[in-house]
């Protein structure tokens, strides 16, 4: 197991390793609020070092993940002396709504959670966002722990402290900055993922390579551009992407660790997304609008981000920032990943939806574009015609 320390307003560790979920109680003990070796993590935000805590610990999960892992997690925590409660919901992006949030908050009150309790999010990014937001507002804030079970959540959404829910008008419009006390990434849980979920997670890793670390981009490029040369033949499928990523443990650990390190560096420099942290939204201004306009039915989040990155890459070239040769190289990689067809998306309607994005400032959308592979730039007020052109060109591809 290896650890990455996130140095934000609350410091915490991201633990990465295969088979570490079984040692979750010990990890909670080792990573207290004062740092490793300072006592039991938990007792919420107040920093008491009791072990085990008399306050209930609530595990929040979705049905698919609960069938696989909830029993073992619950039994291990109970054996270690935790007073464990559980709340299981139907999964999917539509979980992140006011009605589900109200239901979870009522469960927390009914089960006797206190400000010193821990909410443990067991699942993908949706569960982490949803449970983390509930923890951020229950009794004005209790502690929570992220146990991400998808690649996307392990490389991105479990780190950084952004939690929230969606509104009908847009994605993640209601939320908080509320850091976890600990993140536990067991790479063994990724084996049960469908191939599409691995593609979705890999999209976020490619994002990190494009905005800050050319080496990450080149490692992925090397892995997949050589696919046919390795005798695999044919086009990539979700299953073959999963085989390539999960079949190379060194590559997998590198991609997770480096993604977490990059996000940690950005978050520590701009925790509240005033400026620099916006670069983490590369491809997401387009991608969130695509998810919203297709009602979260056509694309997984990372699949929509792949389409969004293509649009952002095209816009980067139209804005005079990105060399045509770099655009060609990036699109050559993004184009090989299997995602659902875009279908009938109207460019004008997508532009209007993007205008509801959180990155709107002073009446202008602040786009995250590329000034080269590994170098992001925040550009306000890009001419509408160029944005529409980038959308139209991508949809035509």
SS3 of 348-359: HHHHHHHCCCCC
Q: Which domains does the chain have, with CATH numbers?
A: 2-192 (3.40.50.1970), 195-396 (1.20.1090.10)
For the question of residue 7 being annotated catalytic, the response is no
- Rounded to two decimals, the pTM is 0.91
Helix 324-334 to helix 195-211 angle (10° resolution) is 160
From the list 196, 242, 277, 358, the catalytic residue is 277
- The C-alpha atoms of residue 310 and residue 330 are separated, in whole angstroms, by 8
Half-sphere exposure (CA, 13 Å, Cβ side) for 187?
21
- The C-alpha atoms of residue 215 and residue 202 are separated, in whole angstroms, by 15
Beta carbons of 341 and 374 less than 8 angstroms apart: no
In this structure, how many other beta carbons lie within 10 angstroms of the beta carbon of residue 150?
A: 29
- The C-alpha atoms of residue 204 and residue 206 are separated, in whole angstroms, by 5
Per-residue pLDDT of the chain (397 residues; tens, 9 = 90+): 999 999 998 899 999 999 999 999 999 987 654 333 333 444 444 443 355 667 999 999 999 999 999 999 999 999 999 999 999 999 999 999 999 999 999 999 999 999 999 999 999 999 999 999 999 999 999 999 999 999 999 999 999 999 999 998 888 899 999 999 999 999 999 999 999 999 999 999 999 999 999 999 999 999 987 665 455 555 789 999 999 999 999 999 999 999 999 999 999 988 888 788 899 999 999 999 999 999 999 999 999 999 999 999 999 999 999 999 999 999 999 999 999 998 889 999 999 999 887 666 667 889 999 999 999 999 988 999 999 999 999 999 8
What is the four-CA torsion angle of 208, 369, 355, 176, rounded to 10 degrees?
A: 30
From the list 281, 303, 310, 359, the catalytic residue is 281
For the question of residue 263 being annotated catalytic, the response is yes
For the question of residue 38 being annotated catalytic, the response is no
For the question of residue 111 being annotated catalytic, the response is no
Q: What is the DSSP letter of 329?
A: H
For the question of residue 288 being annotated catalytic, the response is yes
- The C-alpha atoms of residue 105 and residue 194 are separated, in whole angstroms, by 31
What is the four-CA torsion angle of 292, 220, 327, 311, rounded to 10 degrees?
A: 0
């Amino acid at each position: 197991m290896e650890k990455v320390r996130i140095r934000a307003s609350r410091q915490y560790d991201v633990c990465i390793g295969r088979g570490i979920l079984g040692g979750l109680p010990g990890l909670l003990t080792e990573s207290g609020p004062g740092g490793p070796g300072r006592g039991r993590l938990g007792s919420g935000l107040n920093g008491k070092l009791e072990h085990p805590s008399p306050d209930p610990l609530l595990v929040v999960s979705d049905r698919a993940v609960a069938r696989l892992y909830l029993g073992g997690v619950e039994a291990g925590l109970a054996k270690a002396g935790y007073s464990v409660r559980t709340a299981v919901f139907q999964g999917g992006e539509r979980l992140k709504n006011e009605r589900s949030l109200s239901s979870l908050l009522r469960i927390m009150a009914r089960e006797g959670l206190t400000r010193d309790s821990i909410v443990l999010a067991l699942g993908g990014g949706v569960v982490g966002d949803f449970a983390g937001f509930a923890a951020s507002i229950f009794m004005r804030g209790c502690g929570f722990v992220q146990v991400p079970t998808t690649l996307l959540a392990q490389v991105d959404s479990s780190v950084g402290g952004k939690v929230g829910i969606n509104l009908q008008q847009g994605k993640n419009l209601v939320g908080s900055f509320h850091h976890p006390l600990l993140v536990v990434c067991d790479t063994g849980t990724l084996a049960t993922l469908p191939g599409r979920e691995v593609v979705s997670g890999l999209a976020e890793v490619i994002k990190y390579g494009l905005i800050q670390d050319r080496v990450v981009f080149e490692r992925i490029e090397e892995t997949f551009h050589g696919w046919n040369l390795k005798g695999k033949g044919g086009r990539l499928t979700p299953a073959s992407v999963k085989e390539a990523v999960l079949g190379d443990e060194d590559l997998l650990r590198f991609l997770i660790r480096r993604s977490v390190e990059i996000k940690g560096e950005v978050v520590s420099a701009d925790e509240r997304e005033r400026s620099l942290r916006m670069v983490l939204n590369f491809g997401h201004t387009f991608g969130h609008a695509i998810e919203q306009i297709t009602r979260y039915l056509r694309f997984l989040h990372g699949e929509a981000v792949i389409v969004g990155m293509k649009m952002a890459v095209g816009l980067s070239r139209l804005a005079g920032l990105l060399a045509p040769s770099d655009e060609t190289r990036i699109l050559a990689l993004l184009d090989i990943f299997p995602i659902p067809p875009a279908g009938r998306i109207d460019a004008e309607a997508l532009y209007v939806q993007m205008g509801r994005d959180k990155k709107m400032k002073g009446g202008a959308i602040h786009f995250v574009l590329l000034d080269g592979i590994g170098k992001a730039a925040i550009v306000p007020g890009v001419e509408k015609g160029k944005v529409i052109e980038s959308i139209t060109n991508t949809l035509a591809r």
